[in-house]
Structure 1
Amino acid sequence: MLSDNIWFTRIARIEASKRLLSLERQCQILLISYSLLSVCLSIIFLVKDSSQFDNVVLCLFSTVILVLSLFITNSDYKGRGVQLKENYIELQNIYFLVKDLESENKENEDPKRLKELRDEYIKLLHQTENHSTADDLRARSKQKTTRPLKENEKQQLDVMDNLSLLRVIFSWLPFVIGTIYGFKALFNI
């Protein structure tokens, strides 16, 4: 049924929007933290006698911040997340209209109106990027659906979650190393 297709698409796009907006927040926090650490290291290296190596480390750290800020800006997580949110709100409106049509008596069903709504649904599908497989799996795992997750899909979702955790760990690793390096320089450890 068309209403099922719209509902599945909507819940997956909700997950996609949440994921992108969360990535935006994480990236902004990461960028602010790296920038703050860079300023702290600059002050430490100005006050303390810094070696040529310290200056190279600071230059590399500044380069990481520059690349990170360019990547975040070009990824446009916030814009994409907001666009998906607007899309799933519009999908909700179509869902209600289709549900009303489908619940009416079959004799009174309006095939022309149903086709118009199907066309509107297809138009909305083309307005934004599609959700990822992970978004679909996550949405289906959180909702009672007619398409429950199979065992291999549950495992696939677990792998994706573990990879996300690794991404977070590795994105903070240079910050931790820089902080340790800064404390070492500050306290002559």
Structure 2
Amino acid sequence: MAFSDNVWWTRKARIQAEKRLLSNAFHTQILLLWYSFSGVASAIYHLSIEGSNAAGQDISGITWVVFSVLVLCISGFINGLSFKERAGLIKECYETLNSFHQKAKDSSLTDPTKLSTEYDQILGVCENHSDRDYYTALCIEYVTNNNRLDKNTGLKKGLDRSPTWYHWTSLIYWTLCHKLMLTVLYLLPVILCVALRCIE
């Protein structure tokens, strides 16, 4: 396993990390917008339009006001996560790794210690990618590589590794959990509304 191959895979994993962070940024903004609208609309409906003193409706109105305040607090927390800024740093890292990869391929012309030091400096620019990012890169590169499988090595030409059943299983598990979590988060205002209607 050549040093340049490690650099190449790190770059691919960082690309997936950037995509993950940008996806998180997009979904958090949509969720905040959806939650804000749901909370304010429901609070106005229960407190102003209905104007009833029924105990169940009082509970509903108070619940939606609390929900709106909670959304405001969550928005501050999400802004602190800085998804877009972190994605920007990761993009800067993998773009630098692209040119560094060419240098690493000609490692015979460069001192290995200098290469290793420069590599560490490039990686220090941003946070590390997650296992999920690496597994995603590994599986995508394997599936999109159109070369035939080499019977001797068990690898496709151009790749120095291939995903195992563990990589595929982990990736499928993470993807399903992520989709399920997003579904629950998007449906949360609807679930809350139905639950409060049952109380009324």
Which TM-score tier does this pair reach, normalised by the shorter chain?
A: 0.7 to 0.9
Alignment-mate amino acid for residue 59 of structure 1: V
CA distance in 1, matches of 2:65, 2:44: 14
Q: Which residue of 1 aligns with 2:25?
A: 24
Larger RCO (CA within 8 A; separation ≥ 6): 1
Q: Which residue of 2 aligns with 1:105?
A: none
Q: Which residue of 1 aligns with 2:41?
A: 40
Determine whether 1:70 maps to 2:76: yes
Determine whether 1:127 maps to 2:86: no
Unpaired stretches in structure 2, ≥5 consecutive residues: 143-158
Q: Which residue of 1 aligns with 2:63?
A: 57
- Structure that is richer in helix per residue: 1
1:65-119: CA deviations, max 9, x gaps? 12321331122111111111111001111112223x25xxxxxx3243x543332
- Identity among equivalent pairs (%): 30
Alignment-mate amino acid for residue 117 of structure 1: L
Aligned residue for 2:124, secondary structure, equals helix
CA contact (8 A) 1:15 1:136 kept: yes
Q: Which residue of 2 aligns with 1:172?
A: 186
Alignment-mate amino acid for residue 72 of structure 1: I
Aligned pairs for 1:88-107 (under 5 A) are 88-99=94-105, 101-102=106-107
CA contact (8 A) 2:43 2:62 kept: no
CA contact (8 A) 1:15 1:135 kept: yes
1:156-181: CA deviations, max 9, x gaps? 11111111112112212322225557
Q: Which residue of 1 aligns with 2:87?
A: 81
| Runs of 4+ that moved beyond 4 A | 178-182
Aligned residue for 1:149, secondary structure, equals coil
TM, length-normalised to structure 2: 0.79
1:16-60: CA deviations, max 9, x gaps? 010001000000000011111222223323122243212222123
Q: Mean Cα displacement is larger for which, 171-180 or 74-83? A: 171-180
Q: Which residue of 2 aligns with 1:110?
A: 109
CA distance in 2, matches of 1:82, 1:95: 20
TM, length-normalised to structure 1: 0.83
Residues 1:78 and 1:87: Cα distance change in structure 2 (over 3 Å): same
CA contact (8 A) 1:37 1:179 kept: no
